[in-house]
Every structure is written in structure tokens, then in C-alpha cells.
Structure 1
Amino acid sequence: MGGQYLCKADRCSSAEKSETTKRREGDIRDCLRPSDPVDIVWPLSSTVLGLLEETSQIAEPLPDGLPQRMLDLVRTSEVIWKSPVLDQMMVFKCDTDVVVKAIWCVDDDTEYTTLQYLECHKPDIPAPRPLGYTYKPSTTLATVWPQMDNDQKASIRDQLGVIMSNLRSIPYTDGSALGGVAGEGCKDIRRHLRKSEKPIRSLVEFEEFLFSSPHPGGQVFTELLRQLYPTQPTEMKIVFTHGDLRPDNITVDMDDCNQWIVTGLLVWEYSGFYPEYCEAFKCTNCLAPYKEDDWYLFLPDCISPKRYAHWWLLDRVRDARVV
């Protein structure tokens, strides 16, 4: 699996940040203390347990020594990615085959429950595996995209098309709640992240959620926008959605024939069951009017704005209203 991988082995309980703590340029490890309690949300894999047993010669045996051993493990690990927001998120390579993603104050498990769900229902999707997965050096598509020629870019598009079509083929149970697979609800991220406060079970309810922004705009504008909606929106399918497909969240590797191969999709925090047009919205979230990035011209057909042009254009207008 590619470089920035999630292996959520545990989740530490929230601890108050000390204003006097000296941080190494936003290093999340400086916010951790061995006295902090640790909650094991899901059973640790044997690989992770083995690492924790080996990592410290002075800590108490497990389970009592878990906080100290966890801290020792990440302190001696290589940092392979960190969030631009200070001490918000970091990814550590703890061993040749274990990578850990550490997040400050986790209050949502969508990414982890999605990885569990995919492992069970679609194990051929190139997504990280929970509690340990083989680590292979690779790179993000964002790093190599500018050097690719059009044929290579088209190949990446076609590979992603197969992956996304496979993902979208996961059956949706009529009447079940949209959003995260474990009932985490729907998310709408623009300038800020919003979460649905109650279960959403239909396309109509989902659209009402999108209109329920704290910045709704004028009544006339909103009503006109509603009148522009397709006359038969209920024909849209509900499909499994990644929710944040962009080059930074795609890993690639070059094969023996010097061809770029998609090796993984990362960052599943906004995934779940959504109307089929949503992926087209979300994969163009970072598209600005003057941004010269032809990635947006090579989106897979199954999620392209061209396929959902009416819905996509309406959402761009709505986006201008809510932000």
C-alpha cells in the first residue's frame, strides 16, 4: 500500500493541550503523555501487538504499559506525512510493514469503518487495511502528474475508472441511512465541514441537507435554484462514494514496463453511500476558475462532471452561495 496509509490501531482519549508545551514545528507527539489513558476501540492486530512488545525495555508489560509503549513507538518512527495544520495529523512508518496515522481529537470513525467495510465487501479495491498492511514505497499522483504525457494520464484515468466503477457497484440497501456505513451520517465539506444531525434516507432528504447551510442566501435565489432542479431526481442511484478523489489521495508506482500503475486510494474520511452525482462534485472541490491543472480533464467517465453536468453546474452555483 502506498505511502500515506492509515493504520488505526487505537484512539487516545482527548487530552487538554498545554500552552507551555514546546512543539517541534507542530509535532503531534509533543501533545502526548504516558499518563494519558488509552482506549482500544478495535482489537489490535498481532503485528501491532508484536511491535508494542518490542518497542520498550523499560515500560510495563501490556496491557498496563500500553500508553508508554505507544508513545515510545511513534517517537522512534519515521514521519512520512504531516498535516499543514499544526499538530492536527501525522503519519508514521513504524516498521517495514506497519504505518500509523495519528489524528488529534478523533470524533468521527468514518474512514476506519469504511476500511473495515471494504475489506469485507470489496477486498479488491486498493484501499488501506485496518490494523496493519504491507507498506511499499510509492508516490502520490500529485507528485508525478506534471511530468506525465497525455497517454500516461489517460492510462491513469482508465485505471481509476475501473476502480471507481467497482466501488460504485457495491449494493445499497433501499431505505438505509446515507453517508458513513456505520451510521456516521452525511457530510458536506466546502469551506467548512457540515454533518447531518439526523439520518438521511432519500435523495430528497439529502438535497434538503445541502440547502440547510447556516448561510442559506436569499429566499428568491434559493427558490430559483430549486426550480432549476431536474424534474425526476429520484431516478438517481445511491452508490458508494470515496468523497475526496484527487491526486494527493492517489498513490502510484511504476511497473517493470515503465508504466504508471494506480496502487491505492487514501483518505476515506468523507466516504459512504451518496447520490451517484456526488463524486463529480467532490472530486472538483479544489477546482478554481484560474487553476491550470489538467487533472480535471482526465477524470474517469463514471464520475466526470460531463456525465452529471446539470447537477454539477447547480452545485457550483450553490457552492458560491454557501461559502
Structure 2
Amino acid sequence: MPSKSKSKSPYKFSYTDAIQGKELYNYFGNRVLESRASSGRVVAVKVKPTEGFARSEADMMHYASQQPGILAPQVLGCYDVDPEITVTVSDLVEGDSLDNVWHTMTKEEQKSIKEQLKEQLRLFQQCTQPYIGRIKRQETRNFYDRIHFHFMGPFESEEEFDSWGLERVKSPIAKKIWARLLPGMRGAGEQKFVLTHGDLAARNIMVKDGKITGIVDWEYTGFFPEYMEYALATVIHDCPEDWWKPHLKEILEPCGYKRAKFTAAIKWRGW
């Protein structure tokens, strides 16, 4: 279940700043509004059902925004505005989402965007933790369940994470096969898990004048093995942006055939 901690907020605004505004985005009920705080500052207000939200999402986006060079919006506040709705207030990222402008770009402009995204991923991988989860050892969104809002972790090791995943394999025969294969699929030596955005869809990449201005929607973020960004982009997400997947495969480091197959084996679409 998502954390409902009422501890003192580290952010700067009160819930009264999370007001109605111009709708910028609406994806399966997750809305983003452009609003203006009482100070006059223009902000983005992300509105989500409280049931499907964990405050650790805001904590992770705040963490990412504080890392040198990472283009995550700065979080200004996170509030329950009524028993069923939670809002996250952040800086408004300038520009257009990449899905709206990619096909108007020249080949050189597209190449530049991909290089910029590679640099963002390099910066992500410089941010590490010795466990799988979110900062302060908080749980992460269970992205293997595609239709429910469940959470998972934290996990102290890749072995523990794989063992949790193995329990999701329904076929007893397949479970035995994966139990033999998984030890050889894990990295050796000291384990460090890297900052992972988790949903690098083109709609979540903001651009202006040929430059990436921000990466938004950190719902699936956490610290994971390096393969996870690729696995999420190519196996987990049923992305309507099929045209974007080949470009992501060029940008991201492949996770390997066996790891992709195991990821697919524990994904559950609900049917």
C-alpha cells in the first residue's frame, strides 16, 4: 500500500496553491494543470487519485531535480486536497512534449535529441543506492501489474528482487527453469542500483528549440539494476507510441535476451 505519512513537508507551498487551472494533459484520469500560485509563480499541478499515489514518487522527483544536470522538475509541494485526491505541485517545464514535435524535426534535430537523452541516462546512472527501492528505502510502484495500483519492495539485493519476481511465475515448470537460470543472469561483485525514470515515453520528454527542457512523470521511478530502464521501455509498457520504441532501443543499453524474457514472464496485464 502507498505510504500515507503526514510528516512535515520539506517543500515550500501550502495546499491552497494547488488550485484549478488550464488542463495541459489528461492520461487515463491523471491530469496536469497549469496554474499560478499566490506568489505569482507559474506551476504544474498533477492531480491523481490518492489510492494510486505514493508520496515517495514526489520524493524521488525532488531528489532527481537536485542532482547536477538532471532535467527533472523541482517539486514544490505534495498535498491531499480531499480524502480521494492528491496533488503534486512542481515547476512548469517549458516546451512541447516530444510526441507532438518529433515528426516535424529534421534528422539532425532528432539525432541531437537522442544524444541529449543519452546524456540524461548517463547522469541517472551516476546516482546509486545499495538497495532496490526509492530514497529512504521506500517501496516502489509495482509496474509488473498493469491494471492495479500495487507497490513492491524495498529489496536489499538483486537476488531478493529476483526471488520476489520468481514467485510471480505461474507455471511450476517455468519457475524451476528460471530458478536455475537467474543466478547466472545477475551481476557479480558489489551491487549498486541506479536511478531509473521508468517511463521514457516521448510524451514525458519536454523539448523547446531543439533542447530537452525536462523529463516529467516519475511515477515508475526508483533505484533498480541497470537493465531495468530498457526492460520497462521495451517489455513492460504497452506504449501507444510504437514509433518511439526503435529510437529508445538505440538510446538505452540492452538488458539481454534472458532478462527480457524473465521480465515478460512476470508481467501481468490482468487477463
How far has the Cα of 1:316 moved from its partner? 2.9
Paired with 1:317 and 1:185, the residues of 2 have a C-alpha distance of 22
C-alpha distance in 2 between matches for 1:322 and 1:225: 22
> Taking structure 1 as reference, are residues 211 and 321 closer, same or farther at Cα in structure 2, changes over 3 Å only?
farther
Q: 1:134 to 1:102 in 2, by over 3 A?
A: closer
Q: Deviation of residue 242 (structure 1)?
A: 0.9
Amino acid in the other structure paired with 1:233: R
The one-letter code matched in structure 1 to 2:237 is C
Matched, 1:147 2:96: no
Task: Name the CA shift for 1:142/1:109 in 2 (closer, same or farther; >3 Å).
Answer: same
Alignment of 1:206-217 (within 5 A): 206-213=161-168, 216-217=169-170
Is 1:286 aligned to residue 237 of structure 2? yes
2:57 equivalent to 1:111: yes
Structure 1 position 168 matched with structure 2 position 125: yes
| Pairing of 1:75-90 with structure 2 (within 5 A) | 75=20, 77-85=21-29, 88-90=30-32
Say whether the 8 Å CA contact 1:250–1:265 is kept in structure 2: yes
Q: 1:130 aligns with which of 68, 75, 88?
A: 75
Bigger Cα Rg: 1
Amino acid at match of 1:283: A
CA distance in 2: counterparts of 1:43 and 1:186, whole angstroms: 20
Write the distance in 2 (CA, Å) between the matches of 1:320 and 1:40.
34
In 2: Cα distance, 1:133 partner to 1:200 partner: 29
Residue 299 of structure 1 aligns to a residue whose secondary structure is helix
> Contact between 1:82 and 1:91, CA under 8 Å: does it hold in 2?
no
Output the CA distance in 2 between the equivalents of 1:40 and 1:103: 20
Give the distance between the partners of 1:313 and 1:195, measured in 2 at CA: 22
**Alpha-carbon offset, residue 266 of structure 1:** 0.6
Q: Which runs of 5+ in 2 are unaligned?
A: 77-88
Q: Which has the higher strand share?
A: 2
Instruction: Say whether the 8 Å CA contact 1:96–1:135 is kept in structure 2.
Output: no
The Cα offsets for residues 36-92 of structure 1, whole Å up to 9 and x where unpaired, read as xxx7851552xx46xxxxxxxxxxxxxxxx7xx55xx624x222223333xx54433
Instruction: Kindly indicate whether the alpha-carbon contact (under 8 Å) linking 1:160 and 1:300 is maintained by their aligned counterparts in 2.
Output: no
In structure 2, what is the Cα distance between the partners aligned to 1:135 and 1:232?
A: 41
TM-score (norm 2): 0.76
1:268 aligned counterpart, secondary structure: coil
Q: TM-score normalized by structure 1?
A: 0.65
Deviation of the 1:239 alpha carbon: 1.2
Paired position in structure 2 for 1:42: 9
Matched to 2:22, the amino acid is E
C-alpha spacing 1:227/1:286, structure 2 compared with 1 (3 Å): same
